[in-house]
Structure 1
Amino acid sequence: MNKLIQRIKIFLQRILKKFSSNSQQPSPLINSRPLDTSIPSVSPRWKSGLVLVCSQCANESSNSFHPTSRSSTASEDLENWLKSRLKFEGLWGEFRVVSTSCLGVCPRMGITVVLVSNGSSGNSPCLIVNPQSDRELLYSHIKQNKG
């Protein structure tokens, strides 16, 4: 996971350098200066963190037994379960569950989930979960990030 994060950082730095060389002003991200205040910012509702669920993992249909119902993937089912559980326990405002495209981990079995907390500073855990049997364990990991 650390290698993946490092590769992503290097890739982003290369992109930012390319854009900054085309511009008269240096990019504030490359020089580690704060962002220009002309860009609006808001404080998110999800103060305890984000839960990123890969939409490409376990892409098989989980409703194959019901041909008339809309077919959903195991990733969608896990995402919907997490949202419902957070809402039920009154934690929906503190956490946000978001479907994301491929995270580059691509497990053979399971779904990649990344827990991003406000204090993680780029060191967010990347978990490979079974969408059925690991739900409660994943939920306990999420609640540990409660700010």
Structure 2
Amino acid sequence: MIPTSLRRVWGQGAATAPVALDPRSAPMPADTDPTPAKWETDVLFVCLRCSTKLPDGLAPDGRTTLRQWFKDRLGSVGRGKALRVVETSCLGLCPEQRIAVAIGRELAADPAIIRSVATEADREAIYRMAVGDQPGPKL
């Protein structure tokens, strides 16, 4: 049920004309400028769908083992905040027996670069590539 006060505003009142709202009369929040997030680090997307297809892709808590590996690897060298590792629903590629990953700065490239991980060597290469400027394996 729509309250009577809103019916008048929306022009649904019985004998009242629609009321025009003046956007200048509404109170504005103190900070209305959209500001982008100020991340000091890059982001690494790990495909959750690819991980669920592999027998050892998910940890008992439901997180991807690859995400946890990256976080543990970053923490072991004291760079826990050097890279944000985020699980994403699907990157749309689904390579066979591999996990699709994407580095944020490479998604902005033209064309976008999606990488995949199958072995420990792939994980190390993606890690070095994500935190530094060394080339890693492409999908």
With normalisation by structure 1, the TM-score equals 0.56
Q: 1:104 to 1:80 in 2, by over 3 A?
A: same
Bigger RCO of structures 1 and 2 (CA < 8 A, at least 6 apart): 1
Q: CA deviation at 1:38?
A: 2.0
Deviations 1:108-137 (A, max 9, x none): 1200000113xx571153101105452222
Taking only the aligned residue pairs, the percentage that are identical comes to: 27
Separation (CA, whole Å) in 2 of partners of 1:145 and 1:62? 29
Gaps of 5+ in 2: 1-31, 135-139
Correspondent of 2:81 among 69, 78, 93: 93
Larger radius of gyration: 2
With normalisation by structure 2, the TM-score equals 0.59
Q: CA deviation at 1:93?
A: 1.8
Separation (CA, whole Å) in 2 of partners of 1:136 and 1:39? 37
Q: 1:111 to 1:121 in 2, by over 3 A?
A: closer
Correspondent of 2:34 among 39, 44, 48: 39
1:1-147 to structure 2, matched below 5 A, reads: 38-46=33-41, 49-59=42-52, 60-62=54-56, 70=60, 72=62, 76-117=64-105, 120=106, 122-123=108-109, 124-130=112-118, 132-145=120-133
